[in-house]
């Protein structure tokens, strides 16, 4: 760890020499340094390897623009990139079982180093969204999805949108706070169908 | 209403929980339960029926003289649920806390000697949302009040 | 009626439905939040962190380790053995170590350099569990309790203090893992919650103050007194990151960022939380 | 050996209010450890509080009392400077007594 600090001091010196008069490292250099220090500050544990700190293009860009407005062209690029990655159901069936969907929406476990790799993996939707009105313990990071289908209409267009959004939220809204559940292999195709049913089945409590 | 609770409340030909407690004979009058040796039978029971069999005794009547204080309707975490019970019934001798849906229903019994106020507060564990009963023995008779406490899922869920 | 106005009126109708439904649900929600507030209030009187604080005071004052010395010579930044107000000025740069340190890092440093523990022994049980109480957690409970009521005053004077802050600020927004989470995913907007738990916006002074000054805390869900190092480690666990190394450079940089953002607020911990 | 209790005893009007925190795991006997083995029940079964040699509260507990138990009660009388004693006994037969000065 001492080594890191020394390296960092070296990087500052190099940066200063290159720029000539600058005494502070540039924003990009600090970001790069932060990523390197982060990587040295974790141990692999359980199912969480150090490769989880390797960013893909979307993560890298979203980190880079985290504290400033996302330029329109960058946003469009991210959305295009992610839309192309969505695997649509081959049989055109959007809806699974809303009862399973409710369980997936409640389940918060999965992918943590403390989770059994063979154990359940959920979407944890209630952490951020209101869904069925019976559940009063819901978060507000994302919008309320209560009456999702009822308000938008039970159409194929909306079913497809719901499926795509759960599969890869960044395809519709660059740098969304929502995980890319299908793209990042958090949830299976069937689990995503079940969640779409929770949102779009007229019998689902979400639409009551 | 939760179907399981309805069953519990109505077991035994439509009897309510309270009359069941009464029929089973809750605690023996004129004994100070908590002062005796630990009542393994009462604390070890897995169901309501067993709990009742393990305890002998009097007839609990629903009472407005028993109030829950500093006891929330919703617990943010079931591992620690604050429960306060105050009895306004004269000559209160003991206060017990029972949690219907816990693996063991009887949670704690407090004996209140003369000179001690019939008011206790403690914290309990609840495995899930449940009715909580405060049972008071006063002048050798038994009184009960209940309250439903919801246990919510919190945090990131993992 | 032309198409435009018809559409508009349909929109108005939908909006009315949304508002109506939302209002009903919001009412149930308000009472749930109020009840949770009652729950939290009921826990304030009688914080089991006191048990850690008492044990920590004993550990601080007793001779320990192979060299059998107490922490009386341990300098937390305010002079040897001084605990009063020390936590409110941490993390800081320590010339003797040549490094920015938070409280836990400094405790480990004193255990190694003064009490004669090996580095591995000093840091082997940072987070206690059933049947294995952590001395670090107890010491942190005691030391932090001695800053209760003291205003946070974390300096960025030394270049390494500035550097730690700058790195922490960047780490806060670093997205990674299968879920694309960064600290900012949950802690960069005001008035949001996860389930029913309010999320502090740590990028604002008010949010950082409210959060940072209430750690360490007795965590009722765990039945343990948890330190800020634990708080960071467990946030990363839930972010689906690997295991944040205890007293690592990243943990200190993030602590520096958050502690400095909390400057000016009165420290008020150990607290009690869900 | 078990850690000491934290006992606060304060005069409130003509009564003494006692608040006790006990350091105890309060294992239910239902929890499984990381290896999937059931952790045996381990909990405080009885608590007795005395003032001037007289019992002011006695209790029997099951394992559903929360970890690191908290207990609060009030008794009539009690004067500043006098002592309140609290003793707990757990299901392993371990016992701990602590006292506090009323203030």
- Where do the structural domains in chain A lie, given as residue ranges? 2-69, 98-207
Q: What was the pLDDT predicted at A169? A: 98
Average pLDDT over residues A85-108: 95
User: Which active-site residues of C does the annotation give?
Assistant: 235
Evaluate whether C167 touches C255 at the Cβ level (below 8 Å): no
- pLDDT tens for each residue of D3-23: 999 999 999 999 999 999 999
Report pLDDT for C14.
Answer: 42
Q: Omega of the bond prior to A32 within 30 degrees of 0, cis? A: no
Selected residue with higher pLDDT from A134 and B51: A134
Q: What average pLDDT does this structure show over C103-114? A: 98
- Check CB contact under 8 Å for B125 and D76: no
Question: How large a percentage of chain B has pLDDT more than 70?
Answer: 64
Residue B93 has pLDDT above 70, yes or no: yes
Q: Give the tens place of pLDDT for each residue, A13-66.
A: 444 444 444 467 888 899 999 999 999 999 999 999 999 999 999 999 999 999
Which residues in C lie closer than 8 A to residue D19 (C-beta atoms)?
45-46
- The alpha carbon of residue A185 is apart from the nearest alpha carbon of chain C, in Å, by 8
The CATH number assigned to the domain with range A98-207 reads 1.10.760.10
Distance CA B54, CA B82 (A): 26
Domain C49-273, CATH: 1.10.760.10
**How many whole angstroms separate alpha carbon D5 and alpha carbon C46?**
12
Of B39, B112, B119, the CB nearest to D60: B39
Contacts of C238 in chain A (CB under 8 A): 112
pLDDT at position B152 is 82
Query: Which residues in chain C touch residue B79, judged by CB atoms under 8 angstroms apart?
Result: 220-223
| Tokens representing residue C263 in the block | 């400057």
pLDDT at B18: 45
Pairs across A and B, CB distance < 8 A: 27
Bigger pLDDT: A20 vs A111: A111
Q: What's the confidence (pLDDT) of residue A14?
A: 44
D12 backbone φψ class: left, alpha, beta (φ>0; ψ -120 to 50): beta
C228, β-bridge pairs: none
Mean pLDDT for the stretch of residues B132-149: 91
* D25 with C51: Cβ contact below 8 A: no
pLDDT in tens, D38-92: 999 999 999 999 999 999 999 999 999 999 999 999 999 999 999 999 999 999 9
Q: Are B140 and B89 in contact (CB under 8 A)?
A: no
Q: Which of D57, D66, D67 comes nearest B116 by C-beta?
A: D57
Q: Do C39 and B157 touch (CB under 8 A)?
A: no
Smallest Cα–Cα separation from A34: which of C185, C205, C257? C257
Closest CA to C161 of C203, C208, C102, C109: C102
Set of chain A residues whose Cβ sits within 8 Å of the Cβ of B153: 106, 108, 126, 137
Where does the pLDDT of residue C12 fall: very low under 50, low under 70, confident under 90, or very high at 90 and above? very low
Parallel, antiparallel, or unpaired for β C217-219 and C224-226?
antiparallel
Joined tokens for residue A76: 């469009």
C58-94 burial string, b = 16+ CB within 10 Å, else e?
Answer: ebbeeebbeeebbbeebbbbbeeeebebbbbbbbbbb
At B31, is the pLDDT very low, low, confident or very high (cuts 50, 70, 90)? very low
Task: Point out which residues pair with D95 in neighbouring strands.
Answer: D89
Taking residues C203-225, report their average pLDDT. 94
Chain D contact set for B125 (CB, 8 A):
26, 28, 64-67
| D82 in contact with chain C, both atoms CB, cutoff 8 A | no
Nearest to A142, CA basis, from C186, B85, D83, D53: C186
Cross-chain Cβ contact B153/A126 below 8 Å: yes
| First and final C-alpha spacing in chain B | 28
For residue A23, the model assigns a pLDDT of 62
| Chain C neighbors (3+ CB pairs < 8 Å) | A, B, D
Q: What value does the mean pLDDT take over residues C11-23?
A: 45
Give the closest-approach CA distance of C131 to chain A in angstroms: 19
Is D66 in CB contact (< 8 Å) with chain B? yes
C171 touches C241 (CB < 8 A) = no
- Which of C179, C184, C236 is the best substitution to test chain A (most A C-beta atoms within 10 A)? C179
Closest CA to A184 of A55, A92, A32: A55
Confidence check: pLDDT of C11 > 70: no
Strands B141-151 and B74-75: parallel
Mean pLDDT for B51-61 is 65
**Chain B positions in Cβ-Cβ contact with residue C32 (cut-off 8 Å):** 74, 152
Beta strand B106-111 with B92-99 is antiparallel
User: What's the CA gap between A155 and A151, in Å, rounded?
Assistant: 11
Report the DSSP beta bridge partners of residue B74. Answer: B150
Which residues, numbered 32 to 91 in chain B, qualify as contacts with chain A under a Cβ-Cβ cut-off of 8 Å?
A: 74
CB contact B153 to A (< 8 Å): yes
Contact across the interface for B153 and C195, Cβ inside 8 Å: yes
- The pLDDT of residue C59 is 97
The dihedral built from the CA positions of residue A204, A206, B1 and B3, taken in this order, carries a sign that is positive
Contacts with B, A 28-87, CB within 8 Å: none
Write the pLDDT tens digit of every residue in C178-211.
Answer: 999 999 999 999 999 999 888 999 999 999 999 9
Residue bearing tokens 């008011």 = B119
Q: Provide DSSP, chain A.
A: -HHHHHHHHHHHHHHHHHHSS--S--HHHHHHHHHHHHHHTEE-BTTB-GGGGS--HHHHHHHHTTTSPPPHHHHHHHHHHHHTT----TT------HHHHHHHHH---SSSTTS-TTS-----GGGT---STT------SSPP-TTHHHHH-S-HHHHHHHHHHHH-GGGTSTT-SS--TTTTTSS-HHHHHHHHHHHH-TTSGGG-
The predicted structure's pLDDT at residue C1: 39
E-state strands within B23-152: 60-62, 66-69, 74-75, 81-87, 92-99, 106-111, 116-124, 130-138, 141-151
Please check the confidence at residue B13 and state whether its pLDDT lies above 80.
no
Chain B neighbors (3+ CB pairs < 8 Å): A, C, D
Q: D68 at the C interface (CB within 8 A)? A: yes
pLDDT at A1 over 90: no
Q: Does A130 touch chain B (CB under 8 A)?
A: no
- Main-chain phi, psi angles of B110, to 5 degrees: -115, 125
Inter-chain CB proximity B157 and A107 less than 8 Å: yes
CB contact under 8 A, B76 and C238: no
| D46 contacts on B by Cβ (under 8 Å) | 34, 38
User: Which helix (H) or strand (E) element contains residue C40?
Assistant: helix C3-44
């Amino acid at each position: 760890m001492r080594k890191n600090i020394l390296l960092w001091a070296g990087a500052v010196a190099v940066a200063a020499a290159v720029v000539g008069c600058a005494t502070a490292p540039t924003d990009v250099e600090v970001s790069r340094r932060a990523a390197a220090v982060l990587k040295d500050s974790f141990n692999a544990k359980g199912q969480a390897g150090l490769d989880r700190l390797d960013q893909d293009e979307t993560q890298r860009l979203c980190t880079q623009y985290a504290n400033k407005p996302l330029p329109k062209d960058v946003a469009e690029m991210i959305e295009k990139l992610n839309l192309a990655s969505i695997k649509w159901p081959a049989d055109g069936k959007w809806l699974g079982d809303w009862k399973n969907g409710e369980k997936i929406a409640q389940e918060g476990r999965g992918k943590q180093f403390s989770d059994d790799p063979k154990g359940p993996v959920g979407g944890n939707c209630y952490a951020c969204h209101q869904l069925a009105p019976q559940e009063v313990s819901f978060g507000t990071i994302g919008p309320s999805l209560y009456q999702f289908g009822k308000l938008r209409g039970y159409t194929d267009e909306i079913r497809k949108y719901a499926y795509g959004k759960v599969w890869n939220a960044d395809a519709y809204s660059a740098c969304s706070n929502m995980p890319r559940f299908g793209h990042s292999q958090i949830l299976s195709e069937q689990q995503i169908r079940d969640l779409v049913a929770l949102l779009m089945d007229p019998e689902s409590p979400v639409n009551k | 209403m939760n179907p399981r609770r309805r069953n519990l409340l109505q077991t035994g030909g439509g009897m309510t929980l309270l009359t069941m407690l009464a029929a089973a004979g809750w605690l023996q009058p004129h004994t100070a339960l908590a002062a005796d040796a630990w009542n393994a039978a009462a604390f070890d029971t897995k169901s309501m029926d067993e709990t009742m069999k393990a305890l002998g005794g009097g007839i609990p009547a629903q009472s407005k003289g028993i109030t829950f204080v500093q006891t929330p309707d919703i617990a943010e975490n079931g591992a620690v649920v604050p429960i306060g019970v105050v009895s306004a019934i004269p000559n209160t001798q003991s206060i017990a806390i029972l949690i219907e849906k816990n693996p063991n229903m009887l949670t704690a019994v407090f004996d209140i000697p003369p000179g001690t106020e019939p008011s206790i507060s403690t914290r309990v564990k609840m495995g899930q949302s449940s009715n909580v009963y405060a049972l008071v023995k006063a002048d050798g008779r038994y009184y009960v009040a209940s309250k439903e406490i919801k246990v919510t899922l919190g945090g990131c869920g993992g | 009626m032309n198409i435009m106005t018809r559409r508009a009126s349909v929109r108005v109708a939908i909006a009315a439905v949304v508002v109506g439904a939302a209002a009903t649900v919001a009412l149930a929600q308000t009472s749930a939040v109020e009840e949770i507030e009652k729950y939290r209030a009921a826990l304030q009187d009688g914080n089991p962190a006191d048990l850690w604080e008492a044990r920590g005071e004993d550990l601080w004052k007793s001779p320990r380790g192979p060299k059998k010395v107490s922490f009386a010579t341990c300098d937390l930044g305010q002079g040897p053995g001084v605990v009063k107000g020390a936590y409110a000025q941490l993390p800081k740069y320590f010339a003797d170590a040549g490094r920015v340190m938070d409280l836990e890092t400094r405790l480990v440093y004193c255990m190694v350099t003064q009490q004669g523990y090996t580095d591995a022994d000093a840091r082997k049980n940072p987070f206690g569990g059933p049947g294995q109480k952590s001395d670090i957690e107890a010491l942190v409970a005691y030391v932090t309790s001695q800053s209760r009521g003291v205003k946070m005053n974390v300096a960025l004077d030394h270049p390494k203090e500035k550097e730690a802050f700058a790195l922490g600020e960047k780490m806060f927004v670093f997205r990674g893992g299968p879920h694309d989470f960064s600290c900012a995913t949950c802690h960069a907007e005001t008035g949001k919650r996860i389930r029913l738990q309010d999320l502090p916006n740590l990028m604002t002074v008010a949010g950082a103050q409210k959060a940072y000054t209430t750690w360490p805390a007795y965590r009722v869900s765990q039945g343990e007194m948890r330190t800020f190092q634990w708080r960071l480690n467990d946030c990363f666990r839930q972010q689906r990151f690997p295991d944040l190394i205890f007293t690592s450079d990243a943990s200190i940089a993030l602590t520096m960022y958050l502690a400095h953002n909390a400057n000016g607020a009165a420290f008020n911990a150990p607290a009690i939380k869900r | 050996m078990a850690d000491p209790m934290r006992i606060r005893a304060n005069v409130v009007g003509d009564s003494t209010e006692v608040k006790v925190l006990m350091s105890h795991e309060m294992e239910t006997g239902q929890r499984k450890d990381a290896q999937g083995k059931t952790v045996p029940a381990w909990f405080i079964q009885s608590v007795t509080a005395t003032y001037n040699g007289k019992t002011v509260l006695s209790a029997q507990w099951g394992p559903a009392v929360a970890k690191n138990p908290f207990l609060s009660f009030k008794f009539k009388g009690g004067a500043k400077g006098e002592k309140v004693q609290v003793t707990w006994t757990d299901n392993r037969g371990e016992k701990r007594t602590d006292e506090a000065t009323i203030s």
